[in-house]
Amino acid sequence: MAICRELASAIEGDAGVANFCTSNFGKNIKMYIGIDDEAKPEESDMPFIAFRPGDYSPNIDQEKRNETIFFSLCLKSEGYTISGSTITMNGLGVLESLYFEIERVIMAYCTTNKFIGAASIAGLNTEIAYPLFRVSGQISFQEDYL
């Protein structure tokens, strides 16, 4: 849970993420640690990223444990671009750009945190319910036993 809060704090404090969100949405990104099924975020809360602690497996023979955190990045973006016979939803590009900003922050955090070893982001899945867009995935890393 502490890592989720630290990642949220790093993203919230990042100038690149803040500038992107302010330029595209007129506000900064919201952070959630877990989601309350009774009071889920609404469209007006977008963009937001939700973190949920996942699995962790102690490694008895080593000084590190393997840990996974799940995340979902959600946003609302309207509009299409038409080029010849190709129609592209603008939200896909916005989602991709915001995801890459957040990935940069997450990887920088994991690289500079002395308690975290190699980190990776995997299992990415994009969902569209126009004009809502979501990418979900998992962050896997090794963490020193404290």
Going from the N-terminus, what domains does the chain have, and what CATH number goes with each?
Answer: 2-144 (3.30.70.1700)
On whether the CB atoms of residues 44 and 53 are closer than 8 A, the answer is no
**pTM for this prediction:** 0.87
Copy the structure tokens of residue 42: 């609404």
On whether the CB atoms of residues 68 and 51 are closer than 8 A, the answer is no
**What pLDDT, in 10s, does the model give residues 89-127?**
999 999 999 999 999 999 998 888 766 767 888 889 999
Spatial separation of the C-alpha atoms in residues 90 and 97, rounded to whole Å = 11
Over its C-alpha atoms, the chain yields an Rg (Å, rounded) of: 17
